[in-house]
Amino acid sequence: MDVDALIEGFEYDLWANLLWVEPARRSGQEDLFRHILAAQAVWLARCRDVPIGAATEGDLEEIARDQSGAWISYLRAADPGSPIRYRREEKDFVNPIHEIARHVVNHGTYHRGQMRGVCGERGIEFPETDFIRFCREREQG
C-alpha cells in the first residue's frame, strides 16, 4: 500500500472532522465525535506499541489536528506492510499498518455518517464530507 495514499486518507479525515466540529456540538453528538478522535489515539498507540492514553478532553479542533498530525508523522516513517500485534477483548490480533490506517479513516467516515443521519432527523444543517468533495476542493485550491 502506498504511504501517500494512506496520508491522503488522514488529510481527508482531518478536513471532514474539522467541518463536523460545530454540527456535532449543535446536534448533541460531541461524545460520538470524541469517540472518533479517541479511536484514532488508541490505534496509533497500538501501532507505536505504547500505553493507550486516549484522552480527548479539550478543544475538538485542536485534538483533531493533533491526531491527524501524529498519524501522518507516524506513516511517513513507517513501512505500511509492517505487522502490528495487539490485544483486544482478551484476544491477540495481527494486522499490517496499512489495514489499521485504512480502518481508522473508515471508522471516522462511518460515525460522521451516523451524525449526519441524526442531524437530518433534527433539522440541523450538516456538511457534505464525501471523499470526492474533498478531492474537488483540494484541486480548486
Positions at the binding site for a divalent metal cation: 35, 107, 111
Tell me how far apart the alpha carbons of residues 75 and 70 are, in angstroms, rounded to a whole number.
9
Return the ∠ at Cα 116 (arms to 75 and 53), rounded to 5°.
40
Q: Which three cell numbers stand for residue 128?
A: 457534505
Tell me how far apart the alpha carbons of residues 28 and 4 are, in angstroms, rounded to a whole number.
35
The three state secondary structure string of 73-123 is HHHHHCCCCCEEEEEECCEEEEEEHHHHHHHHHHHHHHHHHHHHHHHHHHC
Query: Binding site: what residues are annotated?
Result: 35, 107, 111
User: What distance lies between CA 118 and its chain's CA centroid?
Assistant: 19
